[in-house]
Amino acid sequence: MLSTMQYVPLTVTRILTHGMTVHSNSSVTTWTGEAEPLRRSFREIGRRAARLAGALRDELGVGNSQRVATLMWNNAEHVEAYFAIPSMGAVLHTLNLRLPAGQLVWIVNHAADRVVIVNGSLLPLLAPLLPQLPTVEHIVVSGPGDRTPLAGAQAQVHEYEELLAGQPTTYDWPELEENMAAALCYTSGTTGDPKGVVYSHRSIYLHSMQVNASESMGLTDRDTALVVVPQFHVNAWGLPHAAFMTGAGMLMPDRFLQPGPLVEMIDRERPTHAAAVPTIWQGLLAELTSDPRDISCLRTVTIGGAACPPSLMEAYDKLGVRLCQAWGMTETSPLGTMAHPPAGCTAEQEWPYRISQGRFTAGVEARLAGPTGRILPWDGTSQGELEVRGPWIAGAYYGGAVSEHSRPADKFSDDGWLKTGDVGVISPDGFLTLTDRAKDVIKSGGEWISSVELENALMGHPEVVEAAVIAVPDERWDERPLAIVVLKEGSTVDGGSLKAFLGESVARWQLPERWAFVTSVPKTSVGKFDKRALRKRYADDELDIAQA
């Protein structure tokens, strides 16, 4: 027996048309560094998206399933590309502007991008790569910036606003099949080559609905979201699509990502929601400590990409801002969990839930696999690798322009579940607590030590700015933790004092004997601690190790 319901494909186009009509007066505000930011209504964004689609089709010859790349900051033009490219049947490919040049070249060639839309300020990054990008036929430049780096480029160069000016404000959007490719993101490549994840129209639509659910970010047209998380990082965690669904305004920081400008944005524009990785909020906290400002307009801050230190949550609680931890990855679109405590908890009872990665959202199924592959119970103690599946979870990696999609055995189970590489436990009521990445856990004397637990505890010390912990070889125990610490300026704290501090909350056998003090911890392109770089610095004897 079949249903009597109409079949209407779930597409990005429907999110666009809904936003520009039902929520036409909602706005995208782009910070410019000037007295007044740039404001565009959703209606105007939709009309400009139609013009962009027309230009890509008529002037640049972009057809169905062809890849159009963006190398852009978070701004209104990038939002226009988010909707125009997939809605016309092409594939949006966001390029991570923080990746090394070699990885960018590899990714563009693997995706076979035909067009790159680039902000003018990023031309010094793109131009030197163009001789190595044979598939790129057109460069579209948006916003201020010196164009001379493109002199002599073999690809045709166009001005974004000039292309749009020659097109009508309407476009005959095609009726697309919902399982068609809509967007393409690559993992950050911390192990091996980056891997391509292709999102469908359907997966984006369903993920957007979940982002807006009250158990997740719960955005409405009364909200304005400060979108600090880059648009090249898993579609800005789905916020642009989710905002067009509900009419939530968007405040886009463009290239002004330093703590000072971010605090000024919050102070002047009064957003109610924000999203970024922990390092952003640590920098913001330092700025607010030296120059206090009222940021209590922020109803909720979604924090993800890495574990949030409990001390950071406590500090923002005192400012009237609630940090809510989330978990996800490129392969999960990314929303997998949100750490909203269950109903009926007191403030004290909420704390264990808040410092977990959160409860699985509807649509994400999860299980834990032990070392032998046995599926473990949700009992809060059984520790295994997290595996997930669902309608916005990757089932394979993009194989490139001339090869099939791939399902490597170390990334997917025989029955199709995604192996996340995260190790943790799940409580009976579905709250996930991650203890480490599988590649980062410290295997000492037959026991596991969580690098994340040690890092969070260390960052609770008032003199510690950042702390990263890696495994290093040990003749007796196989591996032991090395703590790499950034102290506040002028601090005289040493490894012995920090070890004693850790001993108040961490088992004695887990305490690091090796300590290194640095001016900063290297970060990956998405703001996480770059432990691969730290392991290399250790192997190359570039760290000054002290015993404690």
| DSSP one-letter code for 424 | E
Name the token pair of 434: 């991650």
From CA 133, how far away is CA 96, in angstroms rounded?
Answer: 16
- The whole-number pLDDT of residue 476 equals 84
Q: Are 498 and 466 in contact (CB under 8 A)?
A: no
Name the token pair of 480: 């032991």
From CA 303, how far away is CA 328, in angstroms rounded?
Answer: 11
- DSSP-assigned letters across all residues of 230-281: -TTSHHHHTHHHHHHHHT-EEEE-BT--SHHHHHHHHHHH--SEEEE-HHHH
User: Is residue 124 domain-resident?
Assistant: yes
User: Is residue 93 domain-resident?
Assistant: yes
Q: Which of 208-212, 240-244, 402-406, 412-416 has the lowest mean pLDDT?
A: 402-406
Residue 187 bears catalytic tag: yes
- CATH of residue 445's domain is 3.30.300.30
Mean of the per-residue pLDDT values of the chain:
94
Residue 448 bears catalytic tag: yes
CA distance readout (Å), 423 to 55, 185, 386, 453, 458: 47, 24, 6, 12, 21
- The whole-number pLDDT of residue 191 equals 55
- The whole-number pLDDT of residue 43 equals 98
User: Is residue 241 domain-resident?
Assistant: no
From CA 333, how far away is CA 102, in angstroms rounded?
Answer: 25
- The whole-number pLDDT of residue 257 equals 96
- The whole-number pLDDT of residue 422 equals 92
From CA 337, how far away is CA 231, in angstroms rounded?
Answer: 20
From CA 54, how far away is CA 371, in angstroms rounded?
Answer: 53
From CA 290, how far away is CA 272, in angstroms rounded?
Answer: 23
- The whole-number pLDDT of residue 306 equals 80
Return the residue matching tokens 């599988």: 438
Whether the bond between 334 and the residue before it is cis, its omega within 30 degrees of 0, is yes
Residue of 314, 365, 439, 443 marked active site? 443
Q: Which of 161, 184, 202 is the last residue of a domain?
A: 202
Name the token pair of 314: 């406590």
Q: Are 2 and 230 in contact (CB under 8 A)?
A: no
Q: Taking the chain, what is the end-to-end CA distance rounded to the nearest angstrom?
A: 71
User: Is residue 184 domain-resident?
Assistant: yes
- Length of the chain in residues, anyone? 548
Q: Which of 172, 202, 232 is the last residue of a domain?
A: 202
- The whole-number pLDDT of residue 402 equals 63
The mean per-residue pLDDT over the stretch 385-396 comes to 97
Chain segment 99-153, per-residue pLDDT in tens: 889 999 999 999 999 999 999 999 999 999 999 999 999 999 999 999 999 999 9
Q: Which of 338, 352, 307 is nearest to 458 (CA)?
A: 307
From CA 389, how far away is CA 35, in angstroms rounded?
Answer: 47
Chain segment 469-514, per-residue pLDDT in tens: 999 999 888 899 999 999 999 999 999 999 999 999 888 889 999 9
User: Is residue 29 domain-resident?
Assistant: yes
User: Is residue 280 domain-resident?
Assistant: no
- The whole-number pLDDT of residue 189 equals 60
Q: Are 525 and 99 in contact (CB under 8 A)?
A: yes
| DSSP one-letter code for 479 | E
- The whole-number pLDDT of residue 88 equals 98
User: Is residue 351 domain-resident?
Assistant: no
- Amino acid at the residue 230: P
From CA 464, how far away is CA 485, in angstroms rounded?
Answer: 7
Q: How confident is the model at residue 23 (pLDDT cuts 50, 70, 90)?
A: very high
Q: How confident is the model at residue 190 (pLDDT cuts 50, 70, 90)?
A: low
Residue of 11, 94, 187, 330 marked active site? 187
- The whole-number pLDDT of residue 437 equals 81
From CA 129, how far away is CA 106, in angstroms rounded?
Answer: 10
The mean per-residue pLDDT over the stretch 445-459 comes to 86
- The whole-number pLDDT of residue 188 equals 74
Name the token pair of 145: 């910036």
Q: Which of 60-74, 167-181, 433-447, 491-505 has the lowest mean pLDDT?
A: 433-447
User: Is residue 315 domain-resident?
Assistant: no
Q: How confident is the model at residue 371 (pLDDT cuts 50, 70, 90)?
A: confident
Number of domains in the chain: 2
CA distance readout (Å), 244 to 183, 381, 483, 498: 17, 41, 44, 47
CA distance readout (Å), 133 to 67, 121, 221: 13, 20, 42
Chain segment 400-445, per-residue pLDDT in tens: 866 778 899 989 999 999 999 999 999 999 999 998 887 788 888 7
Is 434 in a helix, a strand, or coil? strand
Return the residue matching tokens 């640095």: 518
Here the contacts of 405-412 (C-beta below 8 Å, separation 24 or greater) are 405/198, 411/195
Residue of 106, 351, 448, 477 marked active site? 448
Q: Which of 173, 202, 231 is the last residue of a domain?
A: 202
CB count in 10 Å sphere of residue 22: 14
Note the pTM of the prediction, 2 decimals.
0.87
Buried b / exposed e along 464-497 (16+ C-beta atoms within 10 A): bbbbbbbbbebeebebbbbbbbbbeeebebebee
Which domain does 62 fall in, by range? 8-202
- The whole-number pLDDT of residue 91 equals 98
- CATH of residue 43's domain is 3.40.50.12780
Residue 327 bears catalytic tag: no
From CA 207, how far away is CA 198, in angstroms rounded?
Answer: 14
Q: Which of 23-32, 185-194, 267-276 has the lowest mean pLDDT?
A: 185-194
Residue of 331, 387, 453, 455 marked active site? 331
The mean per-residue pLDDT over the stretch 40-67 comes to 98
Q: How confident is the model at residue 220 (pLDDT cuts 50, 70, 90)?
A: very high
Residue 331 bears catalytic tag: yes
- The whole-number pLDDT of residue 192 equals 66
